[in-house]
Amino acid sequence: MDLLNTLVDKGLRRELPTREEALAVLATSDDDLLDVVAAAGKVRRHWFGRRVKLNYLVNLKSGLCPEDCSYCSQRLGSKADILKYTWLKPDEASQAAAAGLAGGAKRVCLVASGRGPTDRDVDRVSQTIRAIKEQNEGVEVCACLGLLSDGQAERLREAGADAYNHNLNTSESTYGDITTTHSYADRVDTVQKAHAAGLSACSGLIAGMGESDEDLVDVVFSLRALDPDSVPVNFLIPFEGTPLAKEWNLTPQRCLRILAMVRFVCPDVEVRIAGGREVHLRTMQPLALNLANSIFLGDYLTSEGQAGKADLDMIADAGFEVEGADQVTLPQHRADVAGGCGSHAAAGCGSGAEAGCGSHEGGGCGSHAEAGGGVCGTAAAAPVPSAAEPRTDLVAVRRRGAGTDLAPNA
């Protein structure tokens, strides 16, 4: 296919595709899907080999957010039955982080719900960053606290933060349909503040909120212009109790096309599969590793994820390898200018405070202990779901890890 050959050539040269080419990727048929994955996989392997970076979320403060982001279970007015708790103490957050690091994660993403941090909140998170860094040599820390005020990014940097995350989430033209309590421009401003402070910028999107192909291309082109080091791609989890609870618009094939388009537009950037991969990619998750070079390990902010061991088995079975602490994440031309991210034992972060560090906070489940029915051969066969049916059974509220007395999933 001439389109794919052109996109591969451009990706290897770091050349921006045209909007028409990006839209054409999203419009490809299922019959051409493996060709699309193979082409984008060439670009992924050129810049990142077969390495997969692992990241781990710690939800420092859950729920009770004053913002009205429609996708979020922590939003103002949310009726989702999620965990709600105030700030974890620095030692509690450090203990939570240790579980993910023991499982192979290279970066810890510290997330707190809310519009943005107060100066006291920045002090609190700074203490947590120092505690994690003192106890875990070489770990990278990304802060995801919402909209930043002047000087706060610099203070986080001084405390040892390597990166800051804030997602654009959707196109500028449709942003007001998703959130009214802050603007698209506010989000752009926060990403720029992180850049200016010398932090590695992390910013991505949420797919599946009813947006058009044009909206998806718009937001990815906007991200390319902002030039973050990492781009998390979230797939909406339609969480009961939120305005988007009925928006089940994604198929595994659609998710793969979106990831391929992001890779072609952002060829040398860390592309991370974030929230929703278990719910929407399902058994196609290993194929997506040919497109993205980064995932989250274990659970998300308010929902359960695939078992940590299953993540590691998936990576190995698909012929990929977990990125080691001694490996540089980003290509050399990016690592040389990155504000810490990817320039040593780097791993990527995710999204904004209410969006959950790349996991869009409603990150999915799919293989927790309750899933899957009884023992093979001894219980009635589970009904076979139709491809057109929403997989609401794959969404489970997180009841373990940070904010609970139960061990985390890592």
Domain boundaries, the chain: 41-335
Query: Which contiguous run of DSSP H or E holds residue 333?
Result: helix 332-335
The mean pLDDT value of the chain amounts to 87
pLDDT band at 302 (very low <50, low <70, confident <90, very high): confident
Tell me the torsion sign for CA atoms 43, 274, 67, 87. negative
Phi and psi (nearest 5°) for 55? Answer: -125, 155
pLDDT for the residue numbered 156: 98
Set 44, 75, 187, 272: catalytic member: 272
Say how many residues make up the chain: 410
Over range 3-27, report the average pLDDT.
98
pLDDT for the residue numbered 352: 35
State the pairing for strand pair 321-322/270-273.
unpaired
Separation of alpha carbons 192 and 173, rounded Å: 20
Among 53-62, 134-143, 284-293, 329-338, name the most confident range.
284-293
109 in a known ligand binding site:
yes
CA dihedral 295, 301, 306, 311 (to 10 degrees): 30
How many angstroms separate the first and last alpha carbons of the chain? 41
pLDDT for the residue numbered 339: 47
pLDDT for the residue numbered 77: 73
- 315 SS3 class: helix
pLDDT for the residue numbered 10: 98
Over range 394-403, report the average pLDDT.
78
Over range 1-30, report the average pLDDT.
97
Q: Is 109 one of the catalytic residues?
A: yes
Over range 298-310, report the average pLDDT.
85
Set 44, 124, 157, 202: catalytic member: 202
Cβ–Cβ contacts within 10 Å for residue 122, how many?
22
pLDDT band at 406 (very low <50, low <70, confident <90, very high): confident
217-252 pLDDT, tens digit per residue, is: 999 999 999 999 999 999 999 988 888 999 999 999
pLDDT for residue 64 is more than 90: no
272 in a known ligand binding site:
yes
pLDDT band at 366 (very low <50, low <70, confident <90, very high): very low
Over range 196-208, report the average pLDDT.
97
Over range 309-336, report the average pLDDT.
93
Query: Which contiguous run of DSSP H or E holds residue 294?
Result: strand 294-296
Amino acid symbol at 8: V
What is the pTM for the complete model shown? 0.88
pLDDT for residue 398 is more than 90: no
Q: Is 202 one of the catalytic residues?
A: yes
Query: Exposed (0-12), middle (13-18) or buried (19+): which is 377, by Cβ within 10 Å?
Result: exposed
pLDDT for the residue numbered 330: 95
Set 72, 341, 349, 365: catalytic member: 72
Q: Is the CATH number 3.40.718.10 carried by domain 41-335?
A: no
142 in a known ligand binding site:
yes
Q: Are 3 and 9 in contact (CB under 8 A)?
A: no
252-278 pLDDT, tens digit per residue, is: 999 999 999 999 999 999 999 999 999
85-106 pLDDT, tens digit per residue, is: 899 999 999 999 999 999 999 9
Set 44, 51, 75, 109: catalytic member: 109
* Among candidate residues 317, 309, 290, the one with its CA nearest the CA of residue 369: 309
Q: Are 229 and 342 in contact (CB under 8 A)?
A: yes
pLDDT for the residue numbered 388: 65
266 in a known ligand binding site:
no
126-156 pLDDT, tens digit per residue, is: 999 999 999 888 899 999 999 999 999 999 9
Rg over CA atoms, the chain: 19
Q: Is 272 one of the catalytic residues?
A: yes
329-358 pLDDT, tens digit per residue, is: 999 999 887 644 443 333 333 333 334 444
Over range 287-313, report the average pLDDT.
91
Structural tokens at position 195: 């850049």
Q: Is 69 one of the catalytic residues?
A: yes
DSSP characters for 15-46? PPPPHHHHHHHHT--GGGHHHHHHHHHHHHHH
pLDDT for the residue numbered 128: 96
69 in a known ligand binding site:
yes
pLDDT band at 404 (very low <50, low <70, confident <90, very high): confident
pLDDT for the residue numbered 335: 87
Q: Are 182 and 217 in contact (CB under 8 A)?
A: no
Q: Are 55 and 295 in contact (CB under 8 A)?
A: yes
What is the distance, to the nearest Å, from the Cα of residue 390 to the centroid of all Cα atoms in its chain? Answer: 22
Over range 182-198, report the average pLDDT.
97
pLDDT for the residue numbered 374: 33
Set 142, 144, 266, 349: catalytic member: 142
pLDDT over 70 for what percent of the chain? 87
Query: Which contiguous run of DSSP H or E holds residue 202?
Result: strand 200-202
pLDDT for the residue numbered 361: 44
Structural tokens at position 272: 């991370």
372-387 pLDDT, tens digit per residue, is: 333 333 344 445 555 5
Separation of alpha carbons 305 and 292, rounded Å: 18
Q: For residue 231, what are the β-bridge partners?
A: 271
